[in-house]
Structure 1
Amino acid sequence: MDYPMRRLQINGLEMNVLIAGEGPPVLLVHGFPDTHAVWRKQIPMLVAAGYQVIAPDTRGCGESQMPSRVADYHRDLLVADLRALLDALGIERVRLVGHDWGAMQGWFFTLTHPERVERYITLSVGHPAAYGSGGLAQKLKGWYVLMFQLRGFPEWLLKAGYWWLFRRVTAFPEEFGHWRQTLTRPGRLAAGINYYRANPGVILPHAWPKARVPVCGIYSSGDRFLTEGQMRDTARHVDGPFRYERIDGANHWLQLHAPEKLNPLLLDCLR
């Protein structure tokens, strides 16, 4: 994936951002433990389809600046990052795509700034209200969120025994090399975990507003961390068109594990 990267001053931080192509802008927001490279199997396709792709390393991740405090990863700052990024690029409205914590960031941005979102495509993660009220099944799948609230212990545990627990939980050996290369750098693993530490309330039921833009939710049947129910229930929290799609056989990282199934769906949803 040979596209130019730019260093931009965004919301007081230096952010590493891939910008490629010309046409209607599409903002791709990655989650944990990823960087913008998690979209490497979508970016060429989107550029060829006539879109301008913006794919940042979000704060603390990849080559972007890494704040040290847990509070620096609060959802309000994550929303402000996306808004400031669009402002810096002179983009009024965007087609937004998010995955994992990037999907949660996308939800928060869509709910607070619907005027900036032309449509939202969320991978894996449903509306925050549907996720928070996902019941025991979702709480069991999301057990790691509680573990991540501890300071220092998760970082040690995930890396112990040549990352044994990390490799077992993610169960995606083809991607482990990419993750290890990034997360072994000082502070980077803690920065990724700080997204969970700074926002523990996302796992609890909460009266979030309804989305007021068209939403497409895409879920993969092999997801080890999220239930299908929280994505299906998202329909009750969207005050507008909602489309649900399921990709059978793909793991949590459906954009890497099943791009041949995701990419046509993504193009259709973007249109």
Structure 2
Amino acid sequence: MRILRTDEARFRDLPDYPFTPNYLDVAPNLRMHYVDEGRSDASPVLMLHGEPSWSFLYRHMIPMVANAGHRVLAPDLIGFGKSDKPADADDYSYDRHMEWLTTWLDTLDLRNITLVCQNWGSLLGLRLAAEHADRFSRIIVGNGMLPTGESRVPTVFTLWKTFAAHSPWFPVARIVQLGTERTLSKAELAAYEAPFPSTDYKAGARAFPRLVPLSPDDPVSAANQATWKALEKWRKPFITCFSSGDPITRGGDRYMQRRIPGAHGQPHITLRGGHFLQEDSPEAFARIIIDALKAEMAA
């Protein structure tokens, strides 16, 4: 496996991203980066990004939640951000992403976790929480889902999958902008491109769409179905925080509210924004997390 590592110089002077880098090896010679802010003795809030973003996506939310007295961890998935990047798209699989993330979780020995996940952060995070339920105390999902291949995917996703696999041009920053209602600044757009100095570094970003299970025969479909069986027994708090303008995940919040017992009676909310609601409504999204943790302390 040929592994690429983005030069740290590309991450200098990023807007609103002053966080000290932390690194952990999740496989031989494969390093995962993560943000770790706030009180080290506080219960952790785990923020998982998706495609094709990185922990920069949560930059406005991290200090808000940390300043409220919590420990916030935001890893960069392998292939993204400051984490190492295998150069071949075939080096990435759903199961490998799960293995890397599980190694990170187990090594840090995190417990009483509040999971915050969006996009591919949900495809990985919901599996992670279901498979390690003793480590997680609540789940907050924004614009995310756990597909099993049993339902028809939106046409927009099929087009996206084809583009990611075959387009010679893969403009990460423009892709993030397309999923964001507000206009990102030049510095913010540059920050989303920072992890990818050349096309070789984008194999992980290109690989994600083809890893989504589209039929029950997909190799990961059975594992995701098993996760749903676990979620159907999940009675810990499960909160949906979707946006009003996401054509890919629209309706997924109501589906999860019906199917997951822990969602009953929770303060579900629809926020203004596009797919990347962390960019469009970061303060409101952070407030949902803080209020959920306040409710636990008051109980």
TM-score, normalized by length of structure 2? 0.76
| Correspondent of 1:17 among 19, 31, 34 | 34
Q: Which residue of 2 aligns with 1:189?
A: 202
Residues 180-228 of structure 1: CA distance to partner in whole angstroms, max 9, x if unpaired? 333343423221121222x231x4465342412431111101114322x
> 1:144 and 1:20 mapped to 2: Cα distance?
38
1:92 is paired with a residue whose SS is coil
Task: Name whichever structure is richer in strand by fraction.
Answer: 1
Change (3 A) 1:190 1:218: same
Tell me the amino acid that sits aligned with residue 255 of structure 1.
Q
Q: Which residue of 1 aligns with 2:229?
A: 209
Q: Which residue of 2 aligns with 1:51?
A: 70
Q: Which residue of 2 aligns with 1:179?
A: 192
- Paired residues for 1:70-85 under 5 Å: 70-85=89-104
Change (3 A) 1:45 1:8: same
Residues 88-110 of structure 1: CA distance to partner in whole angstroms, max 9, x if unpaired? 22323421111111121111212
- Paired residues for 1:116-127 under 5 Å: 116-127=135-146
Tell me the amino acid that sits aligned with residue 247 of structure 1.
T
> 2:173 and 2:110 mapped to 1: Cα distance?
43
**Alignment length (residue pairs):** 258
Tell me the amino acid that sits aligned with residue 116 of structure 1.
R
Q: Which residue of 2 aligns with 1:105?
A: 124
Q: Please tell me whether residue 158 in structure 1 is matched to residue 185 in structure 2.
A: no
Tell me the amino acid that sits aligned with residue 276 of structure 2.
W
The alpha-carbon deviation at position 158 of structure 1 amounts to 3.2
| Correspondent of 2:254 among 232, 252, 255 | 232
The alpha-carbon deviation at position 49 of structure 1 amounts to 1.0
The alpha-carbon deviation at position 248 of structure 1 amounts to 4.1
> 2:237 and 2:91 mapped to 1: Cα distance?
30
Q: Please tell me whether residue 33 in structure 1 is matched to residue 55 in structure 2.
A: no
> 2:259 and 2:101 mapped to 1: Cα distance?
22
Q: Which residue of 2 aligns with 1:141?
A: 156
CA contact (8 A) 1:210 1:237 kept: no
CA contact (8 A) 1:60 1:188 kept: yes
Change (3 A) 1:180 1:215: same
Change (3 A) 1:58 1:167: closer
TM-score, normalized by length of structure 1? 0.83
CA contact (8 A) 1:111 1:209 kept: no
1:17 is paired with a residue whose SS is strand
The alpha-carbon deviation at position 144 of structure 1 amounts to 3.5
The alpha-carbon deviation at position 34 of structure 1 amounts to 0.8
2:272 is paired with a residue whose SS is strand
> 2:175 and 2:164 mapped to 1: Cα distance?
16
Gaps of 5+ in 1: none
Q: Which residue of 2 aligns with 1:7?
A: 23
Which moved further from structure 2: 44-53 or 70-79? 70-79
Tell me the amino acid that sits aligned with residue 230 of structure 1.
G
1:189 is paired with a residue whose SS is helix
Change (3 A) 1:132 1:62: farther
| Correspondent of 1:92 among 102, 107, 111 | 111
CA contact (8 A) 1:221 1:246 kept: no
**After TM superposition, where is structure 1 displaced by more than 6 Å over at least 4 residues in a row?**
none
Change (3 A) 1:115 1:76: farther
> 1:82 and 1:75 mapped to 2: Cα distance?
11
The alpha-carbon deviation at position 50 of structure 1 amounts to 1.0
> 1:122 and 1:45 mapped to 2: Cα distance?
18
Gaps of 5+ in 2: 1-16
Change (3 A) 1:93 1:73: farther
> 2:267 and 2:90 mapped to 1: Cα distance?
34
RMSD across aligned C-alpha pairs, in angstroms? Answer: 2.7
The alpha-carbon deviation at position 169 of structure 1 amounts to 4.0
> 1:48 and 1:143 mapped to 2: Cα distance?
40
